[in-house]
Amino acid sequence: MSFRYIGFAKTVMVALLLATTPLFAINIILNQYAERRAITEMEAMGNVSVHRAEEAISTTVSLLQRLDRDDVQTCSAEDRVIFEKQIVEHGMIDAIGLADASGQRMCIIPDRDLAGKIILPPIRADGPLVGIGMLERSFLGAHAAVISWDLKNQTRLFAEVTPAVIAMDPGPEYLRSYRRTELRLGNNLLWYSVGGYNSVDSDPEAMLSVETASELYPLVATVTAPASSARQAVQDLKVLAAAACAGIALLFVAIGVWFSWRPESEANDEFAAAIRNGEFIPFYQPVMDIESHRLRGCEVLMRWRRQNGVIVSPGQFMAYAENNDHIFEMTRHMMRVAVEEVGELYGDNPDLKLSINLFAGHFRDREIVSDIKAIFEKSRISYQQIVVEVTERHPLEDMELARKIIAELQALGVRVALDDVGTGHGGMAYLQKLGVDIIKIDKMFIDTISSDDSSTTIVDSMVELADNLGMGIIAEGVEMEEQIERLLELGVTAAQGYFFAQPMPAGEFIEFAERTELEARERDRMAAEAAAAERAASEADVKGAAA
Ligand code: C2E
Ligand code: CA
Ligand code: CA
């Protein structure tokens, strides 16, 4: 992936996140709003039911009270006429009659078979003067109610109220086919029950429920509806919100693309400009001799020093540079700069080695050979000081040609190292076919060297193999002192890693080289002095013994 696709992917992710997060919030808010609204509507429905029932009871009770006051308290022919007149006057009253203490009808207008049925609760001495009972007769879910008023002689006047007064309050459209309304009297007598046939959800957790109690009579209306039906009312809004968020997401992506996407050629132009400006420069990481603590040389690692001073690692641009054939020019430039920067140091110290990384494409033709000749022929860095590294990570296309190029380089005196050994697919075949001089053991194996026995065995066999084939070995990525001890035990003498130094600019590397050399000389001098003192002491011993 090249450096600019990463930015693009990030932009898309951020845009999607920015646009979808509000969608969750909007959904929750809309659901809450829908449920609150449904509850308000259900409260209103409950209130209407209770209110109608209260009115029916109050009107009937006051009618019966008036009859009582007017002494219309018997089943006499005279009273029957008055009953009839009241029925005609009050549309909601279906019948009027007299009942006994147990609740059985004694007479009823209009005349009907009495059939000895109990229609009212029995009279209680301490009970209320008003009694309410329900008949089986019903209309659209509502029963006909019987309301009574106690007279003095243990009888009572009663009136049957038409179910029509109480029936039907459909409520709002979206709740209509799901909601259930029930109206009950205190003693759990059902007056009215309607709806709830299409329950989409029977889970009580998912039900909304509202209870409304009458302040005048023991009446309770219960309205229930599935929360999902309430939420359906905002379905359209949700779709709208989702569409809006999708639109916003697209907009964000479009804006992101606008800012982060540049046509291939433009990105390429920028890269080419960076090459022309000399922004790709060498850093140098020391390779140490871990026996003598002296500097063996360095590996040249490319860095992109951008105009704003930011240093970019090869992981960010190397694949792009390789895929677009920029790497050839970049490598040439880096080698030229290396000659300028460390040529003097290398001229003065002919044992130092300079490792240069090549990639598979460099082995497609002989250009690399002529490049190396052109750059180093007349420089202070000799061919014998140069090592080219070829990685095992990516396969070489044409092994035969690669072998020839390597042989030509070796004929000049350049050495060839196989990089990242153990990580690729090359393995033994590479080592033998390519005829490399040095292997570099990857950090992956060095990392576990002090703790893991099996990894030590891998390193062991690599060392053995290298010895048998007469190759040198460099351990990569050494970060800890224990690793150095183990490497020495295994017979490895060259190593590179943060334990010694990170890759650094030329100035620092030259200082590092001088400092290590001074320290090594100082160590040599002290060792020589100690040896001389020991020799002197033992000579004195010999003389003393002779005397
Ligand atoms: P490499 O050739 O295997 O280089 C070693 C990498 O390991 C370098 O990363 C180095 O900084 C890092 N390293 C060294 N010691 C340690 C250590 O102790 N701990 C850790 N964690 N890392 C250590 P860098 O410089 O980022 O280079 C990455 C890769 O980019 C190189 O891996 C090489 O494959 C490629 N590369 C760098 N410069 C060039 C170049 O000029 N040309 C080509 N073709 N590839 C290059
Ligand atoms: Ca390397
Ligand atoms: Ca390596």
pLDDT at residue number 508: 98
- Are 102 and 154 in contact, with CB atoms under 8 Å apart? no
> Cβ(241)–Cβ(30) under 8 Å?
yes
User: Contact, 279 vs 333, CB < 8 A?
Assistant: no
Nearest atom within ligand 1 for CA of residue 496: 15
The structure's pTM equals: 0.58
Asked whether the beta carbons of 101 and 122 are under 8 A apart, the reply is yes
- Cα(432) to ligand 1 centroid in Å equals 25
Find the helix or strand (DSSP H, E) in which 57 lies: helix 3-69
Is the minimum distance from the CB of 311 to ligand 1 under 6 angstroms?
no
Q: Does domain 268-504 have CATH number 3.40.50.300?
A: no
pLDDT of residue 263: 65
Ligand 2 center–CA 432 separation, angstroms: 20
302 within ligand 1 shell (Cβ under 6 A): yes
Nearest CA owner, ligand 1 atom 20: 477
- Predicted confidence at residue 2, as pLDDT, reads 45
Neighbours of ion ligand 3 (CB under 5 A): 419-420, 476
Q: Which two tokens stand for residue 527?
A: 């060792």
What's the CA-to-centroid distance between 432 and ligand 3, angstroms? 19
Ligand with minimal distance to 300 CA: 1
Residue 363 CA to residue 260 CA, distance in Å, equals 35
DSSP structure class, residue 478: -
Which pLDDT value is given to residue 104? Answer: 85
Separation of alpha carbons 57 and 147, rounded Å = 7
Q: Which of 285, 287, 301 to mutate to test the pocket of ligand 1 (most atoms within 8 A of CB)?
A: 301
- Identity at 58, one-letter amino acid code: S
Output the pLDDT for position 232: 79
The confidence score (pLDDT) of residue 8 equals 66
Is the CB of 357 within 6 Å of ligand 1? yes
With the most atoms of ligand 1 within 8 angstroms of its CB, the residue from 357, 362, 386, 423 to mutate is 357
Q: What CA–CA distance (Å, rounded) separates 200 from 229?
A: 8
pLDDT value of residue 181: 85
- How confident is the model at residue 497, as a pLDDT? 98
Instruction: Report residue 350 CA to chain centroid gap.
Output: 56
- Residue 476 CA to ligand 2 center (angstroms) comes to 9
Whether residue 301 has its Cβ less than 6 Å from ligand 1: yes
At residue 477, the pLDDT reads 96
Check residue 120 and report its DSSP letter. S
- Per-residue pLDDT tens, the chain, 547 aa: give them: 345 555 567 777 777 787 778 888 888 888 889 889 888 888 988 888 899 889 889 999 999 999 999 988 888 989 999 999 999 988 889 899 989 888 888 888 888 777 767 788 888 878 788 888 888 877 778 888 889 998 888 899 999 988 887 766 667 777 777 778 888 887 778 888 877 655 555 666 678 888 999 998 888 988 888 888 778 778 888 888 888 888 888 888 787 777 666 666 777 888 999 999 999 999 999 999 999 999 999 999 999 999 999 999 999 999 999 999 999 999 999 999 999 999 999 999 999 999 999 999 999 999 999 999 999 999 999 999 999 999 888 888 899 999 999 999 999 999 999 998 878 766 666 777 889 999 999 999 898 887 656 667 788 888 998 998 889 999 999 999 999 999 999 999 999 999 999 999 999 999 999 999 999 999 999 999 999 999 999 888 877 776 6
- Distance (angstroms) between ligand 3 centre and the Cα of 305 equals 22
Q: What is the pLDDT of residue 248?
A: 82
Domain ranges of the chain: 1-262, 268-504
C-alpha 409/C-alpha 414 separation (Å) is 5
Spatial distance between the Cα atoms of 53 and 48, rounded to a whole number of angstroms: 9
